[in-house]
Amino acid sequence: MSDFDYDLFVIGAGSGGVRASRVAASHGARVAVAEEHRVGGTCVIRGCVPKKLLVYGAHFAEDIHDARKFGWDVPDCTFNWDVLRDNVLAEVDRLEGLYGQTLDSHKVTLFKTRATVVGPQKVRLADGKELTAERILIATGGWPHVPEFPGSDHAITSNEVFHLDALPKRIVIAGGGYIANEFAGIFNEFGSKVTIVNRGDTILRGYDEQIRDRLLQISMTKGIDFKFNAPFQSIEKQEDGTLTVHLENCEPIEAEAVLVAAGRVPNTKGLGLEEIGVALDEKGAVVVDATNQSSVPSLYAVGDVTNRIQLTPVAIREGQAFADSVFGGKPTLVDYANVPSAVFSHPPIGAVGMTEAEARNRLGSVRIYTSDFRAMKNVLAGRNERALYKMVVNEATDQVVGLHMIGPDAPEILQAAAVAVKAGLTKADFDATVALHPSMAEELVLMK
């Protein structure tokens, strides 16, 4: 028995923290976790999960419309935000309960309170109680970044968007990344007038240019407005509650809601890390090595708080690798190559590996294959919306080094195809695979 209260004290019960806690406990460690908000963290409570449910809810707008072309006599339908919001929030409550049960069944002690670090092996809870642990894991995630400008407090972030009292007739969304494009699609399908306002002229930086252009073009056709090179100046609240958004290089825009989606910052403020000598980078992220260890040897960090790849499955892998390495006697490093990602826009994007531009820079000679097609379902529905699949191949080895897709169900298809890219398969391997007809995914093995 060690002299410490716990073998491991985890701060933050999100995706990375919960995984690390329960795996460490299953390896026999005495584990406690502190969570100041809700068990489940960003993904479960105010991110991936409720967002995806809203995406499903939103897409019915197109399905209901298209069903008429498939012979269904669909009466005019109306959408009730309160019903969807409350059902989604109830599902979030259910999942939060399950996460709590998981911790409980692994005998992890849960402190539903804020904890800060007061020593390399000591934490303090909000009520002042101090606890010791041989190791401390920081898994506090990230927090929406709201740039400072007059009236910024009138804006909401992805934390509040799931709780809106009413569906806004008009919404301005600041930013051009994941959250901006996903919520632009959601609100547009629900019938809100959506304007995306971006400080630069690029949406979804990091994604393949052709795929980004296709989303922009389809989004505009669906009625989403884009203002580029238009940084926010201020938000003014009118007497009737309407918000007037003042921008550089643009006329003011009126809206019922303004959503700021300008990236997320690591959640380290006030945690006491710098005071005990933990190195943070310029964004406040905990600097860790490949084993998730910080500059203070007893202190580790996983997930968004380390600002490596801000994705839930990556945080889960890091939490698992940490627990297996430190408590399970199985040293494990996370492999960050070919991590697939998706944007749940309308239509969605899925991608893995290098973009065309990256591959040209890194490999020199590449072959590019594209398939630009209208999904069969869209043709019958009269929906003029083309999917685009793009394959990036290393000329020297024939290896497929990147796949980029926009179109119906692209993330579902991409997840399976990512296995082939991760395995280093070649274009010839894709060609040797017989098409599954009729499907959209068959385009992947038919590219000429």
Instruction: Please name which of 18, 238, 212 lies closest in space to residue 110, comparing C-alpha atoms.
Output: 18
- In the complex, minimum distance from the CB of residue 316 to ligand NDP, in angstroms, rounded to a whole number: 13
Which residues define the annotated binding site for NAD(+)? 175-182, 263
Question: Based on CB atoms, which residue is closest to ligand NDP, 121 or 219?
Answer: 219
- For 141, residues 6+ apart whose C-beta sits below 8 A from its C-beta are 12, 14, 16, 41, 42, 266, 267, 303, 304, 305, 315
* Segment interacting with ligand NDP, rule: CB under 6 A, options 87-95, 103-111, 262-270, 325-333: 262-270
Phi/psi at 50 (5° precision)? -65, -35
Which residues define the annotated binding site for FAD? 52, 304
Which residues define the annotated binding site? 52, 175-182, 263, 304
- In the complex, minimum distance from the CB of residue 4 to ligand NDP, in angstroms, rounded to a whole number: 34
Question: Based on CB atoms, which residue is closest to ligand NDP, 21 or 341?
Answer: 341
* Segment interacting with ligand NDP, rule: CB under 6 A, options 132-140, 173-181, 208-216, 323-331: 173-181
Instruction: Please name which of 432, 435, 443, 437 lies closest in space to residue 350, comparing C-alpha atoms.
Output: 443
- In the complex, minimum distance from the CB of residue 389 to ligand NDP, in angstroms, rounded to a whole number: 19
- In the complex, minimum distance from the CB of residue 216 to ligand NDP, in angstroms, rounded to a whole number: 13
# of chain residues touching ligand NDP (CB under 6 A): 23
307: left (phi over 0), alpha (psi -120 to 50) or beta: left
Phi/psi at 397 (5° precision)? -115, -10
Question: Based on CB atoms, which residue is closest to ligand NDP, 200 or 277?
Answer: 200
Question: Based on CB atoms, which residue is closest to ligand NDP, 34 or 155?
Answer: 155
Binding letters toward ligand NDP, positions 284-323, x by CB under 6 A? --------------------------xx------------
Phi/psi at 319 (5° precision)? -65, -45
Strand pairing class (130-138; 225-227) = unpaired
Residue 437 among the catalytic residues = yes
Write the DSSP string, 151-167.
TGGG-B-TTTGGG-SS-
Looking at residues 222 to 261 of the shown chain, list those that interact with ligand NDP (rule: CB under 6 A).
Answer: 261
Question: 3-class DSSP state for residue 96?
Answer: helix
Instruction: Please name which of 54, 63, 1 lies closest in space to residue 29, comparing C-alpha atoms.
Output: 1
Q: Strand runs (DSSP E) across 59-199, as ranges?
A: 109-111, 115-119, 122-125, 130-138, 142-144, 170-174, 193-197
Residue nearest to ligand NDP (CB): 177
Q: Which of 21, 268, 306, 341 binds ligand NDP (CB under 6 A)?
A: 341
Specify whether the CB–CB gap between 29 and 8 falls below 8 A.
yes
Strand pairing class (349-353; 400-406) = antiparallel
Looking at residues 174 to 203 of the shown chain, list those that interact with ligand NDP (rule: CB under 6 A).
Answer: 175-180, 182, 198-200, 202
Binding status of residue 263 toward ligand NDP by CB under 6 A: yes
Question: Based on CB atoms, which residue is closest to ligand NDP, 34 or 58?
Answer: 58
State which amino acid sits at residue 261. Answer: A
State which amino acid sits at residue 447. Answer: M
Question: Based on CB atoms, which residue is closest to ligand NDP, 226 or 322?
Answer: 226
* Measured distance CA(335)–CA(290) in Å, rounded: 10
- In the complex, minimum distance from the CB of residue 172 to ligand NDP, in angstroms, rounded to a whole number: 13
Q: At what angle do helices 312-327 and 15-26 cross, to 10 degrees?
A: 30
Instruction: DSSP letter for 285, please.
Output: P
Q: Which of 59, 65, 145, 437 is catalytic?
A: 437
Question: Based on CB atoms, which residue is closest to ligand NDP, 31 or 342?
Answer: 342
Q: Which of 38, 122, 212, 264 binds ligand NDP (CB under 6 A)?
A: 264
- In the complex, minimum distance from the CB of residue 145 to ligand NDP, in angstroms, rounded to a whole number: 6
- In the complex, minimum distance from the CB of residue 248 to ligand NDP, in angstroms, rounded to a whole number: 11
Question: Based on CB atoms, which residue is closest to ligand NDP, 94 or 205?
Answer: 205
Q: What is the dihedral of CA 196, 198, 202, 205, to 10 degrees?
A: -90
Structure tokens at 204: 């979804």
- In the complex, minimum distance from the CB of residue 10 to ligand NDP, in angstroms, rounded to a whole number: 21
> Which amino acids are annotated catalytic?
437
- What does the binding site for ligand NDP look like in residue numbers (CB under 6 A)? 147, 175-180, 182, 198-200, 202, 205, 261-264, 310-311, 341-344
